[in-house]
Amino acid sequence: MHPGAPATAAGRLIGAACIVLIMPDNRLPVHFSPFRLAATGGRLEGEMSFSGMSRLAQAGLRPGRSPIRIALRFEAGPAGSVLCRGTVRARMTATCQRCLGDTPIDIDRGVELILVRSDAEAARVWEDYEAYEVGEDERIYTRDLIEEELLLALPLILTHADPAHCNVPTPGEEDVADKKQGSETRENPFDALKGLRDKLS
């Protein structure tokens, strides 16, 4: 992209054979055409909030303080498809399934997608890439694509990455704690006898 390239009202910066979609304040567009971007070797870069990502909420994820950061580039692929490569980075919070405390979930996903118009087209493209079918209007809704990538990047079990951060007693430690508490709260019969004598005297 040439320095000083003019920006349209939609935030589209046009340079030499390249289109970079960046909305005001570094936000991403609501939707975009991957085929149009691929025709110019374009990129999609910026930040996005977690707002409206209901599937992440259903999976037990809560938004982090920082926005989702996206950097994707597009190029023509085989059989009229589009190759999409890049990264999606985000930090969320979940309930640790080991200790039931809060744990950060850091996502740094390398994206390698092949965007197709139909299942038939998907069958003709490379098997090394994950296929993503684009709607009939050939537009992708950015939020849907990014939420899908975040869901695919989640670990099977949401726990602290380091077990040392879990507030869970080690094996045998819980039994010792229970016995200690029981010995402290159990009534001493001699104390009861002493109390009775004090009342009688």
CA distance 94 to 105: 7
CA distance 97 to 131: 31
Beta strands in the chain (DSSP E): 12-15, 18-21, 31-32, 43-48, 62-63, 68-76, 82-95, 102-116, 130-133, 140-141
Torsion, Cα of 132, 16, 14, 4 (10° steps) = 140
- Compute φ and ψ for 177, nearest 5 degrees: -65, -40
pLDDT computed for residue 188 by the predictor: 55
Per-residue pLDDT in tens (0 to 9) along the chain, 201 residues: 333 333 333 333 333 344 555 444 567 889 999 999 999 889 999 999 999 999 999 999 999 889 999 999 999 988 888 999 999 999 999 999 889 999 999 999 999 999 988 877 777 776 667 888 898 888 999 999 999 999 999 988 888 888 888 876 555 555 544 555 555 555 554 455 455 445 555
pLDDT computed for residue 179 by the predictor: 55
